[in-house]
Structures are given as C-alpha cells and as structure tokens.
C-alpha cells in the first residue's frame, strides 16, 4: 500500500476545480491520498479554504505568488490572517521571489516575501517558497529571519548541487515536481540523489507540468504524482512502498498533519 501526499497542487484552478470529485477520485485510485492546495492570490485563498473544509485529507496553504506582489493590498493580508484561524490552514505560501518572469517589481516581491515571513513567525506556520532565478536573494532574506522562521520548503525545486547542499545545511526542505522525469533534467536527478528523505517532499504543481510519460497530458493532476515518486524510488534505489512511507513521515512532520 502506498500513500503519497501531493504537497503542492493548485486544485482551485481551471481544469481541476470544475471536476474536483473526479480529480480526487483518480488521485486516490493511484495511491495519492492527501493534498495541500496552494493559494496564489486573494481570490484563490478563499477558494482553497472552502475546498479544504469540504474534503477530508485536503489541506489549505495560503499565499500570494510573487507574480502578484504588485497587485497586493494590505486588506488581502488582513483577510489572510483571518483565514489562518479558520482551520485546516497548515502553511503559508506560495511566497518568495521570481526574477525569471519579473511580473512584479523586484522590490515589491521582496517586501511581500518579508511580510509573509513575519506572519509565519507569528502564526508558527511553515512556509512554501517559490524561488526562481533569485537563489542568492531568497537565501539572504531567509538569513535575516533565521532566528524566527518556522520550517521552510523550496517548492518546484531545480537548482545546482551546491545550492541543494546549502538549502539542506540550513535545515530547510526541498520539494520535487515532475521535472525530475524530463529527459533533459539530468542535473535535477543528481540533486534528488543528494537530498535525504527526511528533508524531501514531492508535488505535482498541477495543473502545470505533467511528468513523463504523461507529459503530453495538458492538465496535470495529483494522480500523476506516482510517476515522480517512481522515478525518485529508482534514483534512490529503494522500492516505492519504502519511499512512500518515508516521504509521508517527512510531509506529516513538516505540515503538522
């Protein structure tokens, strides 16, 4: 029996939300039995909380994506703090820095990221970090909060071996997506080998990025997490049951679920 947890799914997005019962049904059938649904703006944070209230083993994580940093208003944060008290909110994020797309000004991204780290330290919730093309800046901000942050995970991870070591040395966690199954992702697979299972989690980041051999499936969904898990088991040289058990322990400990 395997029991995988999809630690980063956008279940309130188009393509998944309208057929959520079927999506979760297929997921359970594939052995993916728990889900963290991630908010990215004020509207989706509301939806994520409602979804978590409705489904057992589905948990809420509330954030404002760095892409939306320049749209954010103080009342969004006020509301987010209210929602934290509503139950089943297990983490904050995604938050962080995206200097690849730069959809929001870098200063606005940094300010919002710091605001989230402050809320996390007050609420004692773990933080899901989105960091793209901004490794040094992300680590620098995290360093400034080192004495008061809670647990930190770098989601949709793709970095170098050195960055991976730095993240692990700081006591943070790493979450891998289906990217590790892609043909050209040799470096990501090398990183997987170096991350201990008590610091590793896995995610779909659906509806984006279907893993191989389902990469052509336009809308990724939690059921497909099994392909990422199988690849990791292969890279670690262990069976899928052992991997599932260890990842489940790590994930439960990280999110307190």
Binding site for Zn ion (CB under 5 A): 94, 130, 205
Closer residue to Zn ion, CB minimum distance, 145 or 157? 157
CB of 93 to Zn ion, least distance (A): 8
- The residue number with the shortest CB distance to Zn ion is 130
Q: Which is nearer to Zn ion, 134 or 233 (CB)?
A: 134
Nearer to Zn ion, 44 or 227 (CB): 44
Distance, in Å, from the CA atom of 168 to the CA atom of 223, rounded to the nearest integer, reads: 28
CB of 133 within 8 A of CB of 101?
no
In the complex, the smallest distance separating the C-beta of residue 238 from Zn ion, rounded to whole angstroms, is 27
In the complex, what is the shortest distance from the CB of residue 1 to Zn ion, in angstroms, rounded to a whole number?
28
> What are all long-range contacts of 140-147, with beta carbons under 8 Å and residues at least 24 apart?
141/97, 141/110, 141/113, 141/114, 141/117, 142/117, 142/170, 142/172, 144/114, 145/114, 145/117, 145/118, 145/121, 146/170
Q: Which CB atom, from 33 or from 40, has the smaller least distance to Zn ion?
A: 40
Phi, psi of 81 (to 5 degrees): -65, -40
Min separation Cβ 9 and Zn ion, Å: 8
């Amino acid at each position: 029996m395997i029991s995988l947890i999809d630690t980063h799914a956008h279940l309130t997005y188009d393509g998944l939300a309208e057929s959520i019962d079927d999506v979760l049904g297929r997921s359970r059938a594939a052995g993916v039995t728990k889900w963290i649904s991630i908010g990215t703006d004020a509207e989706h944070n509301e939806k994520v909380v409602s979804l978590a209230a409705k489904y057992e083993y589905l948990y809420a994580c509330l954030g404002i994506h760095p892409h939306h940093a320049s749209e954010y208003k103080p009342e969004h944060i006020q509301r987010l703090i209210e929602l934290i008290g509503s139950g089943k909110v297990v983490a904050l994020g995604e938050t962080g820095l995206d200097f690849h797309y730069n959809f929001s000004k870098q200063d606005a991204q940094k300010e919002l990221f710091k605001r989230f780290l402050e809320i996390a330290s007050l609420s004692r919730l773990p933080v899901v970090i989105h960091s793209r093309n901004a490794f040094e800046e992300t680590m620098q901000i995290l360093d400034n909060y080192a004495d008061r942050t809670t647990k930190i995970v770098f989601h949709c991870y793709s970095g170098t071996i050195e960055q991976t070591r730095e993240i692990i040395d700081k006591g943070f966690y790493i979450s891998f997506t289906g990217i590790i199954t892609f043909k050209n992702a040799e470096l990501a697979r090398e990183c997987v080998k170096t991350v201990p299972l008590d610091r590793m989690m896995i995610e779909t980041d659906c509806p984006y990025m279907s893993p191989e051999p389902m990469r052509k499936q336009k809308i990724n969904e939690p059921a497909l997490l099994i392909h990422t898990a199988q690849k990791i088991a292969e890279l670690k040289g262990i069976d899928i049951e052992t991997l599932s058990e260890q990842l489940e322990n790590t994930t439960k400990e990280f999110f307190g679920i």
